[in-house]
């Protein structure tokens, strides 16, 4: 989904997408991952952010919001953010699983 806003005589587009995770990685660590990645997107008109959309026994789902000035950037930026988040999340899951295996 995206919305169009007029700001300082130019248009910016807000695009959102959902991204879900199991409960293995703690919420605090997920937010740290999001913030680390969002901090690298200083070329965008506004810093990306996320909100917790829903949480079930199986997963937590976040909605990611980001802004672009060209609609052609939407799918590139979405792909980059999702890949980076999942890469960091996979790394954290691997660390946690290694710790659990050492304890058993």
For the chain, the structural domain boundaries read 2-103
- Nearest Cα to 65, choosing from 82, 83, 79, 51? 51
* Average pLDDT, rounded, for the chain: 91
State both tokens at 85: 């988040």
**What is the per-residue pLDDT for 53?**
97
**What is the per-residue pLDDT for 67?**
95
- Nearest Cα to 13, choosing from 62, 82, 76? 76
- Nearest Cα to 15, choosing from 80, 62, 67? 67
pLDDT over threshold 90, residue 50:
yes
85 vs 102, which has greater pLDDT? 85
Segment 2-43, tens digit of pLDDT: 566 666 677 899 999 999 999 999 999 999 999 999 999 999
Q: What is the mean pLDDT of residues 46-64?
A: 97
Q: What is the mean pLDDT of residues 70-83?
A: 96
The verdict on domain 2-103 having CATH code 3.40.50.620 is no
Beta carbons of 47 and 65 less than 8 angstroms apart: no
State both tokens at 2: 């995206």
Torsion of CA 34, 37, 6, 16, to 10 degrees: -50
d(CA 66, CA 15): 6
């Amino acid at each position: 989904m995206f919305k169009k806003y007029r700001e300082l005589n130019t248009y910016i587009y807000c695009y959102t997408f959902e991204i879900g995770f199991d409960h293995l990685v703690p919420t605090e660590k997920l937010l740290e991952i999001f913030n680390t990645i969002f901090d690298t997107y200083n070329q965008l008109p506004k810093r990306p952010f996320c909100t917790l959309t829903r949480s079930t026994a199986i997963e937590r789902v976040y909605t990611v919001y980001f802004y672009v000035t060209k609609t052609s950037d939407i799918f590139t930026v979405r792909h980059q953010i999702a890949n980076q988040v999942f890469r960091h999340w996979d790394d954290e899951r691997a660390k946690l699983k290694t710790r659990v295996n050492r304890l058993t």
